[in-house]
A and B are shown apart, each in its own frame.
Chain A
Amino acid sequence: MSDNLLKIGTSAILANSMLLNTTSNNIANINSTGYVRQRTEFEAQILGLGVGRGTTDRLISDFTLKQLRRDTSVHSFSLQYLSEANRVDALFSNPANSIATNINDLFKQIQTANNEPATPANRGLIIGSAQAMLDQFNTLSTQVLDQEKFVNQQLQLYVTQTNGYIEQIANLNKEIAAYGSGSGSRPIPLDLLDKRDQAIMNLSQMMEIKVLDAENGEKLIFTSTGQALVMEKNDFNLIGLRGNPDASRLELQVEWSGSANITRNINVKELGGKLGALVAFREDVLDPTQNQLGQLALSIADAMNTQNRLGMNLNGEIGKDLFVIPDFDGLPYPANTGGGSITMTIEPGQGKNLPPNDFRVTVIDANNVRIEALDVQGNVISGSAKDVNIPGGFPATIGSDDAGGDLYGLSITIDGAPAAGDRFMLKPLASASRVMTMATTRPEDIALASPIRTEINVNNLGNGQVSGLNVTNTDASSSFTSPAGLDGGPWTMAYIGGNSFEIRDNTNTVIGTANFTDGNYQNVLAQAGLGDAGFDFSVSGVPQIGDTFTIAYNTGGFNDNRNGLALAGLQEADTTRLNALSVAGGVNYSNFNQAYGAMVSLIGERTSQARSSEAASAAVLEQTNKWYESLSGVSLDEEASNLIRFQQTYAAAAKILSTSQTVFDTLLSSLS
Chain B
Amino acid sequence: MRLSFNMKFYAGLDGILNTQNKLSRAENQLSKQTRLLTPADDPAASAKVLSLDQTIHRTEQYQSNSILLKNNLALEETILTNMRVSMDRARVLAIASGNGTYQEDDRKAIAAELKNIQTELFDLMNTRNSEGGYIFAGYQDKSQAYAFNQATGLYEFQGDDGQKALQISSTITLPGNDSGKMVFDNVDARFKTTAATVSAGGATGASIQVYNQSAFDIFYKNTFDGITPANNDFSVVLTAPDNYEILRNGAAMVPPATGIFTPDQPIQFQGLEITISGAAAVPGTVDFSLLPPEKKNILTTLGDFITALEDPAISDFEFQEILSDTIVQITSASTNIDSFLSDIGGRINVLDSVYGTNEDLTINNKTYRADISEVDYAAALTEITKQEIALQAISTVFTKVSGVSLFDYIR
B53:A104 contact, CB within 8 angstroms: yes
B407 close to A547 (CB less than 8 A):
no
Q: Chain B's nearest CB lies how many Å from the CB of A99? A: 10
Q: Would B139 and A559 count as touching, CB distance under 8 A?
A: yes
**Which of A108, A544, A626 interacts with B7 by CB under 8 Å?**
A626
* B47 CB-CB contact with A under 8 Å: yes
- A597 in complex: contacting residue of B41, B51, B57, B64, CB < 8 Å: B51
Does A594 lie at the interface of the complex (its beta carbon under 8 Å from any beta carbon of B)? Answer: yes
With CB as the reference atom, state the residue of chain B lying closest to A635.
B4
A residues 79-112 touching B (CB-CB < 8 Å): 85-86, 89-90, 92-93, 98, 100-101, 103-104, 107-108, 111-112
Contact with A along B30-57 (1 / 0, CB 8 A): 0000001111111110111011011001
- What are the residues of chain A within 8 A of B38 when measuring CB–CB? 86, 89-90, 92-93, 604, 607
CA distance A119 to B129 in the complex (A): 14
In contact, B2 and A607 (Cβ under 8 angstroms): no
Query: Interface digits, A535-572 against B, CB 8 Å rule (1 contact, 0 not)?
Result: 00000000011110000001011111110010010011
Q: A643 — nearest CB in chain B belongs to which residue?
A: B410
Is the beta-carbon distance between A108 and B61 smaller than 8 angstroms? yes
A603-B50 Cα distance, complex, nearest whole Å: 14
| B50 lies within 8 A of A100 (CB) | yes
Establish whether residues A608 and B406, one from each chain, have CB atoms under 8 Å apart when the complex forms: no
Q: How far is the CA of A562 from the CA of B166 in the complex (A)?
A: 9
Smallest CB–CB gap between A376 and chain B, Å? 18
Known: A600-B46, A636-B407. A459 touches B39 (CB 8 A): no
CB-based contact A546/B226 at 8 Å: yes
Cα separation A634 to B47 with both chains bound (whole Å) = 50
- Complex Cα distance, B53 from A594, in Å, reads 12
**A455 in the interface (beta carbon within 8 A):** yes
Is B5's beta carbon under 8 Å from chain A?
A: yes
Chain A 576-620 interface 0/1 with B at a Cβ cutoff of 8 Å (1 = within): 000000000000000001101110111111111011000000000
Given A456-B161, A558-B139, also A630-B54 (CB < 8 A)? no
- Max count, chain B CB within 10 A of own CB: residue among A458, A605, A640: A458
Contact, CB under 8 Å: B166 / A114? yes
Residue numbers in B under 8 Å from A461 (CB-CB): 221, 224, 226, 293
- Assess whether B303 is interfacial by the CB under 8 Å rule: no
Q: Taking the nearest CB of chain B, how far is it from the CB of A70, in angstroms?
A: 20
Contact between A622 and B14, CB atoms less than 8 A apart = yes
Which chain B residue lies CB-closest to A90?
A: B38
User: A364 to B194, alpha carbons, bound, how many Å?
Assistant: 80
Interface stretch, picked from B140-148, B266-274, B318-326, is B140-148
> CA of A558 to CA of B132 in the docked complex: distance in angstroms?
13
User: How close is B137's CB to chain A, nearest CB, in angstroms?
Assistant: 8
Contacts of A610 on B, CB cut-off 8 Å? 40
Q: B133 contacts which of A118, A596, A605 (Cβ < 8 Å)?
A: A118
Q: Does B313 contact A (CB under 8 A)?
A: no
Bound: A601/B51 CA distance, A: 11
> Taking the complex as formed, is A30 at the interface, i.e. its CB lies under 8 A from any CB of chain B?
yes
Q: B46 touching A604 by the CB < 8 A rule? A: yes
A interface, by DSSP: helix, strand, loop or mixed?
helix
* Alpha-carbon separation in the docked complex, A629 to B47 (Å): 45
Q: 1/0 per position for A616-647, CB-CB distance to B under 8 A?
A: 00000010011001111111111011011000
How close is A447's CB to chain B, nearest CB, in angstroms? 14
| Bound CA span A546–B405, Å | 111
Chain B residues contacting A638 (CB-CB under 8 Å) are 2
Give every chain A residue within 8 A of B47 (Cβ-Cβ). 597-598, 600-601, 604
Nearest CB in chain A: distance from B411 CB, A = 11
State which of B162, B167, B406 has its C-beta within 8 Å of the C-beta of A111: B167
Q: B4 to A85, Cβ gap below 8 A?
A: no
A115 within 8 A of B: yes
Residue total for A at the interface (Cβ-Cβ under 8 A)? 83
- Does B58 sit at the interface, judged by CB under 8 A? yes
For residue B44, which residues in chain A have a CB less than 8 angstroms away from its CB? 601
B390-406 Cβ-contact flags toward A at 8 Å (1 or 0): 00000000000000011
> How far apart are the CA atoms of A453 and B44 in the complex, in Å?
46
Which of A449, A459, A545 has most B Cβ within 10 Å? A459
- A605 near B227: Cβ-Cβ < 8 Å: no
CA distance A641 to B406 in the complex (A): 7
Q: Is A574 an interface residue (CB 8 A)?
A: no
**Neighbouring B residues of A608 by C-beta, 8 Å:** 40-43
Decide if B165 touches A104 in the complex (CB within 8 Å).
no
Q: Does A290 lie at the interface of the complex (its beta carbon under 8 Å from any beta carbon of B)?
A: no
Contacts of A108 in B (CB 8 A): 57-58, 61
From the candidates B37, B39, B131, B226, name the one contacting A600 in the complex (CB within 8 A): B39
**A85 neighbours in B (Cβ, 8 Å):** 40
> Which residues of B180-239 are within 8 A (CB) of A?
181, 185-186, 221, 224-227
With a cutoff of 8 Å between Cβ atoms, the chain B residues found around residue A630 in the complex are: 1-4, 7
Enumerate chain B residues within 8 angstroms of A103, measured Cβ to Cβ.
54
User: Inside 8 A of A104's CB, which chain B residues have their CB?
Assistant: 53-54, 57-58
Are A603's CB and B1's CB within 8 A?
Answer: no
> Do A558 and B142 touch (CB < 8 A)?
yes
For the complex, is A116 an interface residue (Cβ under 8 Å from B)?
Answer: yes
Of B6, B61, B181, B294, the most chain A CB neighbours within 10 A belong to B61
The interface centre, meaning the residue of A108, A111, A112, A603 with most chain B CB atoms within 10 A of its CB, is: A111
Whole-angstrom distance between the Cβ of B179 and the nearest chain A Cβ: 9
CA gap between A367 and B201 in the complex, in Å: 86
* B173 at interface, CB cutoff 8 A: yes
Q: Given A111-B167, A461-B221, A558-B142, verify A601-B4 contact (CB < 8 Å).
A: no
Q: Are B2 and A561 in contact (CB under 8 A)?
A: no
Is the pair A611, B40 in contact by a Cβ cutoff of 8 Å?
Answer: yes
Does A454 touch B at the CB level, under 8 Å? yes
Known contacts being A111-B65, A561-B165, is A544 close to B54, with CB within 8 Å? no
Complex CA–CA separation, A453 to B162 (angstroms): 8
CA distance A496 to B3 in the complex (A): 102
Interface residues of A in 34-49 (CB under 8 A from B): 37
Q: Complex formed: what's the CA distance from A565 to B61 in Å?
A: 13
Q: How far is the CB of B386 from chain A (nearest CB, A)?
A: 19
- Among B39, B157, B186, point to the contact of A604 (Cβ < 8 A): B39
Interface residue A117 (Cβ < 8 Å from any Cβ of B): yes
Q: Which residues of A contact B2 (CB under 8 A)?
A: 630-631, 633, 635, 638
Instruction: Given A85-B40, A90-B38, check contact A572 B4 (CB 8 Å).
Output: no
Task: Determine the chain B residues whose CB is within 8 A of the CB of A611 once the complex forms.
Answer: 40
Shortest B70–chain A CB gap in Å is: 12
> Which residues 157-171 of B have a CB within 8 angstroms of A?
157, 160-162, 164-167, 170
Smallest beta-carbon distance A466→chain B, Å: 8
Contact B139–A554 (Cβ < 8 Å): yes
Q: How far is the CA of A635 from the CA of B225 in the complex (A)?
A: 113
| A326 sits at the interface (CB 8 A) | no
For residue A497, CB closer than 8 A to chain B, the reply is yes
Query: In the complex, what distance in Å separates the CA atom of A242 from the CA atom of B181?
Result: 71
With the chains together, A104 CA to B129 CA distance in Å?
29
In the complex, what residues of A have CB within 8 A of residue B7's CB? 625-626, 629-630, 633
**Which chain A residue has the least Cβ–Cβ distance from B297?**
A458
Which listed residue (A89, A115, A546, A559) contacts B162, Cβ 8 A?
Answer: A559
Q: In the complex, what's the smallest C-beta–C-beta distance from A198 to chain B, in angstroms? A: 15
Q: Is the CB of A546 within 8 A of B58?
A: no
Do A92 and B39 touch across chains, with their CB atoms under 8 A apart?
Answer: yes
* Complex interface: chain A residues within 8 A of B347 (CB): none
In whole angstroms, what is the CA distance A625 to B3 when docked?
Answer: 11
Which one, B39, B166, B181, contacts A458 given CB within 8 A? B181
**B contact residues vs A (CB 8 Å cutoff):** 1-7, 10, 14, 36-44, 46-48, 50-51, 53-54, 57-58, 61, 64-65, 68, 131, 133, 137-143, 157, 160-162, 164-167, 170, 173, 181, 185-186, 221, 224-227, 292-295, 405-407, 410
Given A86-B38, A459-B294, 4 more A-B residue pairs with CB atoms under 8 Å apart are: A455-B181, A565-B173, A606-B40, A622-B14
Which A-B residue pairs are the 4 nearest by beta carbons? Answer: A546-B226, A633-B4, A604-B39, A604-B43
9 A-B pairs with C-beta separation under 8 A = A119-B131, A455-B160, A459-B294, A497-B227, A554-B139, A559-B142, A601-B39, A629-B6, A640-B405
